[in-house]
Amino acid sequence: MSEFGFQSLPPLETVRTYAEEADWNMTSYIMEHHQRSGSGNGLMIGQMTDTFRMPENFTAWIYLSLVLQAEGIRYGVEHWRRNMHRVSGTLYWQLNDCWPVASWASIDYFGRWKALHYAAKRFYAPVLLSVEDHPPKMDLHLSSDLRESWAGSVRWSLETLTGEVLGSGNQDVIANPLSDTPILALNFTGSLTPENERQIVLVTELYKGAERV
């Protein structure tokens, strides 16, 4: 799977090189000039308001656009890695930029890493722990690019945004070589409902011995 992607604004330090503060608006002439996709800003704004609350200022727009891009590509790559029997590799569009601009790149024109590039280091790790969520059920998978089996442990906890732990567990796991391995099926019926699901998060961690992977 190749040439899939989603745009973000570049980091604030990069925006400062081509836009004065008076132009810090998604529809200003200079911001639209530094956007070479006709639908790019509209798609970013639409997905932003679908996923987050409306940003309070332009600095927040930049930050959330970076998070949105990273989360979108992470979601896709994790899905395809869970389906290794159908998709044997992914290559997102794109790595870097030829000028300072809103774009699909994970590294901007000046070499600054966007959130996506940091996220890629994790979702392209040789052994990946991911969650296939279909509330109130959550299926945990290990996707491995290694040529040998990998043994470790998974720790999980269901928590409220205020830190209250509603449930937790720890399980030894083995990732089969060059494949995806379903390792744990969690059912939170009774704890997770349509009314409270925006206030609850599932935290998952992968360990090799005492070291978090």
Residues of the chain with CATH 2.60.40.10: 127-212
Assign domain 127-212 to a CATH class. mainly beta
Tens-digit pLDDT profile for residues 73-127: 999 999 999 999 899 899 999 999 999 999 999 999 999 999 999 999 999 999 9
* pTM attached to this predicted model: 0.92
Cα–Cα distances (Å) from 9 to 18, 40, 46, 100, 114, in that order, read: 12, 10, 14, 10, 9
Helices within the chain (DSSP H only):
12-15, 29-33, 40-51, 58-82, 115-123
Q: What count of other Cβ atoms lies within 10 Å of the Cβ of residue 59?
A: 12
Dihedral angle sign, alpha carbons of residues 120, 67, 48, 161:
positive
Q: Could you report the per-residue pLDDT of 165-182, keeping only the tens digit for each?
A: 999 999 999 999 999 999
Contact 65, 14 (CB under 8 A): no
